[in-house]
Amino acid sequence: MARIVKADAYLVDIEVETVRTDAMQSFLKQETIFVELATSDGLTGTGYSYTIGTGGRAVLSMLREHLLPVLLGRDARDVEAAWRALYDSTRATSVGVLTALALAAADLALWDLRCLRAGEPLWRLAGGYRESVPLYDTEGGWLHLDQDELVAGALESRAKGWPGVKLKVGKPSGTEDAERIRAVRGAVGAGMDIMVDANQSMTAPEAIRRAALLEPYDLSWFEEPLPAEDVAGHERLAAATRIPIAVGESMYSLGHFREYLQRGAAGIVQVDVSRIGGITPWLKVAHLAEAFNVVVCPHFLMEIHVSLVAAIPNGRYVEHIPQLRAITTEQLRIVDGHAVAPDRPGLGIAWDRDQVDNRRVG
């Protein structure tokens, strides 16, 4: 048996590493919610989740008051049963982002325990498809950067051997967006992937208009052009443009992804392991996407997503946005434009416990 005998949660604030802006908001700070689970056979698993500046204490409260007590006494090896028990205990608040974030922190701790007990890294135990995955950079593409800065950032990424860059769109003028993308494409040439991200800022008619302006620049995807709940709008847009439509970072259930895929409204799936509720449902979304012959390029959290994308056959890209360097002792390993999945047992994140403790706020 591997009974859970202790369950703790706490909150850590991490300052942003660089100024980050998009068409809707700025990244204020990363509220990082940790869960630690200790078992009767002497193992301790660590999981985490995040917000970009608000709601962290609400997630922490849900864990402490409602979810962690559900785990006490359960066999940590039964991850699917544990996740379902947690989910069933939150019926009044599911599906929803705060519940999903809380579920994720607990689920990641359970998977950490599973991998530690097996003596295997996450990428192998979750599927084991390949050891490294292509990387694209977002840090040089924020909306507040001027055109020259966008070009310089893309050229720097190309010089590092990274195969793709993502640029934010959503300027007041669609022609300004198009001119910025045109400049970057002209600088990097035809051999580099360029993605654009509107962060849910547009209506369907405006997104269709801007997609037409952007089509000449051979974009790999148009990300979150509309609010995530507007499935019909995304369906209309997908039918009106040759640019693949990417969605998923703001979706919190397997059923929501199923609806998008069934209606042909998603050409790229960007499921976020924290916002979907953990590794357990993340893998289900990834396999669902595979059934529809759609690739997975998850949002943010490169330190955990590198292992998950490496685990599945339809994983295409990991997004480079470093945010855990202040509280870890090792960096993401990058070789020839590819992020290498950690090979140590567990989730593969080397936490700096002293720095974590120094930043605790709850």
Q: Give domain limits for the chain.
A: 4-119+353-358, 124-340
- The pLDDT of residue 325: 94
Identify any residues that bridge with 280 across adjacent strands, giving them in sequence order. Answer: none
| Distance, CA of 203 to CA of 219 (rounded, Å) | 20
pLDDT on residue 29: 83
Active site residues: 168, 299
Sign of the C-alpha dihedral, residues 195, 241, 236, 254? negative
What are 36's strand-pairing partners?
A: 8, 46
Return all residues near 297 (Cβ < 8 A) that are at least 6 apart. Answer: 221, 246, 268, 269, 270, 309, 315, 316, 317, 318, 319
- Whole-number Å distance between alpha carbons of 115 and 46: 11
- Between the alpha carbon of residue 196 and those of residues 146, 191, 210, 215, 225, the distances in Å are 15, 16, 11, 11, 9
- The pLDDT of 179-201, averaged and rounded, is 97
Q: Distance between CA atoms of 304 and 325, rounded to whole angstroms?
A: 13
**pLDDT at residue 154 in the model:** 97
The answer, yes or no, to whether residue 200 has pLDDT greater than 90, is: yes
Tell which residue, 83, 130, 128, has the closest CA to residue 109. 83
pLDDT band at 362 (very low <50, low <70, confident <90, very high): confident
CB atoms < 10 A from the CB of 11, how many?
19
Dist. CA 92–CA 110, nearest whole Å? 23
Mean model confidence pLDDT for the chain: 96
SS3 state of residue 258: helix
pLDDT class of 94 with cuts at 50, 70, 90: confident
Q: Can you say whether the dihedral through the CA atoms of 201, 203, 207, 209 is positive or negative?
A: negative
Q: Tens digits of per-residue pLDDT, 285-340?
A: 999 999 999 999 999 999 999 999 999 999 999 999 999 999 999 999 999 999 99
Architecture of domain 124-340: Alpha-Beta Barrel (3.20)
At residue 22, the pLDDT reads 75
Name residue 12's beta-bridge partners. Answer: 32, 360
If we measure between CA atoms, which residue out of 56, 7, 29 comes closest to residue 327? 29
Mean pLDDT in residue range 33-52: 97
Cβ proximity of 178 and 194 under 8 Å: no
Handedness of CA 89, 90, 94, 97 (dihedral sign): negative
- Could you tell me the two tokens for 282? 């993340």
The mean per-residue pLDDT over the stretch 8-22 comes to 86
Domain 4-119+353-358 has CATH 3.30.390.10: yes
